[in-house]
Structure 1
Amino acid sequence: MTTTQAPPVRIGKAAVAALGMLATSAGALESVVAPTLPLLQRELSLGPAEGALLSIAMLITGALVAPIAGNLGDRYGGKWVMIRLMAVVSVGGLVSALAPNLPVLLLGQVLQGAMVGAMPLSFILVRNYLPVGESKVAIGVVSGLFIGGGMLGTLIAGPIAEGLSRHWMFAIPTLAIILTTLLVHWLMPNDPPSQSDARIDWPGLALLSGILLTLMLGLSMAPEVGSRPLLLGALVVLLAVLVAGWIHVERRSPSPMVNLRLLAKPAIWSSYVITFAVCIGVSLSMYLVPQLFALSADGYGFGASATDIGLYLLPGAIAAALAGPVAGIATRRFGSSAVVAAGIAVTTATLVALVFLHSEIWHLVVGKVVIALASGVCITAVVVKTATSVDQGDTGTATSLVLVTRVIGFAAGAQISGAFLAAGIPSGSNVPAESAFITGFVIAGVVTALSLLVVRTMSKGVKE
């Protein structure tokens, strides 16, 4: 195995800006399906089950691709892998834009899901070519612009689909991705591979993909699992077998997909625990708040329309986009662990406040803004901490697993929310009792607060 040190080259603001514009374009393409799902269901004659499949196709692919892309970026260079990955995403966007039916649109969404892998590749590049302090800010900026792109896509998807057609809502951000990928290619220097002669661990890759796929499918089927215990048992057994097989393979591989010694570092495993717990708590609130807005004003809800709900959630989306740059600057000044702890504390306090204060629209709007900002700062600081706690040759692998943990945490939180709201519907009614929402906010606050127990572990053996 040969190891090549990163060259003493620094990238300019233009190169970082190109990465940011690419992140914005990718975020926009990622988010166009959710707000236009009813329109897609109507135009393509899709049932609820088909609509649900369309809504999670990209999520599943992203969870599978991110760790693979990060690992390949560590081995063969972040730019080399990113350009090829975004070529796949561009093809997926064009396929989605031209799709005449559901199967073709699903194919496009599966290909688009590769965009999730671009984030760890961006982190590899900025860490290779920027000093530690500047790289922390750059990671925060790129993360924030990806979220900002998601907000932009959510806002423009409906008007474009209704004013032009559903085809253009995929085509426009795809064209932006093609242009910004070319900018990255021109402005970003080629980073050398750290393990250019290492073989790809195909058995480890296949088993890790199986683990993530089983998890994501299990979470997507969670509402039905309670009435089908045999299915739950089969999924648990399959997951245990895959995990055991993956650990066995990785321990014996000369060039493992994921170095298990890396995962054993306190700074790394604690980052994944914090990410999972915080994302579950935030996901619970993300699901509950819109439901409260939509409930009839005759009870304890507000009877808000879809347009009204979008406007109420907009400040929170803006706060989430700002969280990345804020986290980058804060971690540079105060250190990652302090920023993570502050983000968890503020998020927990806000979730607890919503237990008692949710009778006015402004209570929920302000709560959503604070949660989005605090949790966004927290998770970005975790990514920064993870990226700077490992050797440069492991940056992509370590940060990609944070992103995968984030996806799984959000998916788990959404399914938990749906489960206890359904359980909270009184007999003879189709509306959950207010106590179900209170329980949800309590659970979210408790789970988030528990992550504080491992914050100190993030600093063990690592210097800021």
Structure 2
Amino acid sequence: MSTAAVSPARTVAPVRPGRRSIGALGILALALGTLQSVVEPALPLLQRELGVGPAEGALVANALLITGAVLAPVAGKLGDRYGGKRVLLWLMAAVSAGGLLAGLAPNLPVLLLGQVLQGVMVGALPLSFILVRRHLTAGESQAAIGVVLALFTGGGIIGMSVAGPIAHGLSWQWIFVLPTIVIVAATMAVARLMPPDPPAPSGDPVDWPGVALLSATLLALMLALVAVPGGGLPPLAVGAIVLVVAALAAGWVIVERRAATPMVDLRMLARPAMRSSIVLTFLMSIAFGMVVILLPQMFAVSADGYGFGLSTTDIGLLLLPGAIAGAVSDSVGGIAARRFGPRAVVVAGIGVTAVTMVALAVLHDAAWQLAVAKVLTAFAAGAGTTALLASTASAVATRDTGITTSLLVVTRLFGTIVGAQVGGTILAAGTGPASGAPSEAAFATGFVVAGLASALSLVAVRATRKRVTA
């Protein structure tokens, strides 16, 4: 692009996207959601095909999220600076490469590498929020952000539906290849139809040291969350990991405080409302992450005992209503936050999740009970975290939309990953050497822990409300 394309003369009002460009962006969001969701119903099948257990299965599910957590704030900041569309197209190239690599994976390491590259798709969320804020008014953006999340989550409906038939009719590799083909086509349509959003008018240099340190800190923390709960590391190694994470985080804070144009304005993080949103998003996502791991595993356990012995197709069909509920909740969350306030939506979501998980620890002898639990927890988590995200995004300056929303997206991923790893660790600890399957008590323990984590959020709501009021 020529220098004139980013000259100060660009002062005209932003062009609103037309129906065709919005349609292309919607198809892209649906395809990304599909690619992200195919692993959940196929997780027991992938474990059998690759010869791995629940802990490694959780790693397969989390590899995508790890990359997303590392990249999301970087993508949001670069989108703020250089334009959301331009950065989005580059990210989609990496996602496409990851999807094709996973489709060709002969073993677990190659599949994990493909999942890592696919995790770049998480950066599409803050970039979409940038486009929304630059093309819509502040009032319209709250509902629009919910719709963007709903399109991304709505792809999970397709993924849950097609993962089983594709895996059994073709092979498990095709559950990655087919959505990737759609992503490539949709990306080409977005590149052609979506009007470009002008870069932020700033001559300040990018805070690359801050970008590098934040990425390294998040990567080290995510790897620690994956490795430490497994219990296979000696205490010295665990202590070394903690020191590395602490050193990187401290270095990032020092760099940001001294930078003339920091990647993240630490004063923004110091605001009580922002801190409250981060804490609540994290705690609410833990329970949902545990549900993502526990339910498919219980569906797949042999029907000779307490399980149901279901196939990938059957698991996908039972999880499908939950995917629909998650898509609906993402769009409802932003609207509900405007009408009732984010706190009311959050409290309602926490209450529903806590009660559902405790009840599931006792009542899990029918498949429909697990399916209903998935619906309730997906709707509660989606509405609550989206309400927090939408209200926070609309409260900050437009130039900070990308970095603010990406930090909350990262927090949502952190909570989900922590919950998934805790759930996988509980199941692995409760797996008998003779049966090779987790015990019923292990699942009940996981459900109780998820309920307690959700209930802890109520304490955080009360504490953060007092700080915000003060």
TM over 0.5: yes
SS of the equivalent of 2:206 reads coil
Equivalent in 316, 323, 330 of residue 324 of structure 1: 330
Q: TM-score, normalised by structure 1?
A: 0.86
Higher alpha-carbon deviation: 300-309 or 235-244 = 300-309
In 2, are the aligned partners of 1:133 and 1:332 still within 8 Å (CA)? no
Work out the CA distance in 2 between the residues paired with 1:39 and 1:371. 24
In 2, are the aligned partners of 1:93 and 1:108 still within 8 Å (CA)? yes
1:371 matches 2:377: yes
Question: Do the aligned partners of residues 33 and 283 (structure 1) sit closer, same or farther apart at CA in structure 2, a change above 3 Å counting?
Answer: closer
Work out the CA distance in 2 between the residues paired with 1:218 and 1:437. 24
1:17 matches 2:23: yes
Question: Do the aligned partners of residues 330 and 307 (structure 1) sit closer, same or farther apart at CA in structure 2, a change above 3 Å counting?
Answer: same
Q: CA deviation at 1:263?
A: 1.0
Work out the CA distance in 1 between the residues paired with 2:274 and 2:392. 6
* Count, aligned residues: 460
In 2, are the aligned partners of 1:6 and 1:192 still within 8 Å (CA)? no
Q: Map of 1:9-158 to 2, 5 A cutoff?
A: 9-33=15-39, 55-97=61-103, 108-158=114-164
In 2, are the aligned partners of 1:16 and 1:138 still within 8 Å (CA)? no
Work out the CA distance in 1 between the residues paired with 2:94 and 2:233. 39
Work out the CA distance in 2 between the residues paired with 1:41 and 1:421. 14
Work out the CA distance in 2 between the residues paired with 1:402 and 1:254. 24
Higher alpha-carbon deviation: 180-189 or 126-135 = 180-189
Q: 2:4 maps to which residue? A: none
Deviations 1:338-395 (A, max 9, x none): 2222222222222233234333333222122111111111122122122112111111
Question: Do the aligned partners of residues 314 and 214 (structure 1) sit closer, same or farther apart at CA in structure 2, a change above 3 Å counting?
Answer: same
Q: 1:200 maps to which residue? A: 206
In 1, are the aligned partners of 2:154 and 2:323 still within 8 Å (CA)? yes
Q: Which amino acid aligns with 1:253?
A: A
Work out the CA distance in 1 between the residues paired with 2:389 and 2:259. 27
Deviations 1:26-47 (A, max 9, x none): 122233455556777888x776
Q: Map of 1:129-278 to 2, 5 A cutoff?
A: 129-164=135-170, 168-225=174-231, 228-278=234-284
Work out the CA distance in 1 between the residues paired with 2:58 and 2:369. 31
Q: Which amino acid aligns with 1:449?
A: A
In 1, are the aligned partners of 2:98 and 2:116 still within 8 Å (CA)? yes
SS of the equivalent of 2:225 reads helix
SS of the equivalent of 2:24 reads helix
Work out the CA distance in 2 between the residues paired with 1:335 and 1:186. 38
In 1, are the aligned partners of 2:141 and 2:394 still within 8 Å (CA)? no
Q: 1:391 maps to which residue? A: 397
Work out the CA distance in 2 between the residues paired with 1:150 and 1:176. 14
Equivalent in 414, 434, 454 of residue 408 of structure 1: 414
Q: CA deviation at 1:165?
A: 5.5
Higher alpha-carbon deviation: 305-314 or 266-275 = 305-314
Question: Do the aligned partners of residues 208 and 430 (structure 1) sit closer, same or farther apart at CA in structure 2, a change above 3 Å counting?
Answer: same
Deviations 1:165-203 (A, max 9, x none): 666544432232233223333443322222542222222
Gapped runs of 5+ residues in structure 2? Answer: 1-6
Question: Do the aligned partners of residues 385 and 14 (structure 1) sit closer, same or farther apart at CA in structure 2, a change above 3 Å counting?
Answer: farther
Work out the CA distance in 1 between the residues paired with 2:277 and 2:201. 25
Q: CA deviation at 1:237?
A: 1.0
Work out the CA distance in 1 between the residues paired with 2:316 and 2:438. 22
Work out the CA distance in 1 between the residues paired with 2:186 and 2:133. 20
Q: Which amino acid aligns with 1:144?
A: A
Higher alpha-carbon deviation: 436-445 or 158-167 = 158-167
Work out the CA distance in 2 between the residues paired with 1:179 and 1:407. 27
Work out the CA distance in 1 between the residues paired with 2:411 and 2:254. 22
Q: Which amino acid aligns with 2:37?
A: S
Work out the CA distance in 1 between the residues paired with 2:85 and 2:229. 41
Question: Do the aligned partners of residues 297 and 398 (structure 1) sit closer, same or farther apart at CA in structure 2, a change above 3 Å counting?
Answer: same
Question: Do the aligned partners of residues 285 and 161 (structure 1) sit closer, same or farther apart at CA in structure 2, a change above 3 Å counting?
Answer: closer
In 1, are the aligned partners of 2:41 and 2:296 still within 8 Å (CA)? no
In 2, are the aligned partners of 1:331 and 1:381 still within 8 Å (CA)? yes
Question: Do the aligned partners of residues 28 and 430 (structure 1) sit closer, same or farther apart at CA in structure 2, a change above 3 Å counting?
Answer: closer
Q: CA deviation at 1:222?
A: 3.0
Question: Do the aligned partners of residues 178 and 356 (structure 1) sit closer, same or farther apart at CA in structure 2, a change above 3 Å counting?
Answer: same
Higher alpha-carbon deviation: 418-427 or 220-229 = 418-427
Work out the CA distance in 2 between the residues paired with 1:292 and 1:37. 12
Q: CA deviation at 1:130?
A: 1.3
Q: 2:457 maps to which residue? A: 451
Q: Which amino acid aligns with 1:111?
A: L
Q: TM-score, normalised by structure 2?
A: 0.85
Equivalent in 387, 400, 403 of residue 381 of structure 1: 387
Work out the CA distance in 2 between the residues paired with 1:363 and 1:165. 30
Question: Do the aligned partners of residues 225 and 24 (structure 1) sit closer, same or farther apart at CA in structure 2, a change above 3 Å counting?
Answer: same
In 1, are the aligned partners of 2:308 and 2:367 still within 8 Å (CA)? yes
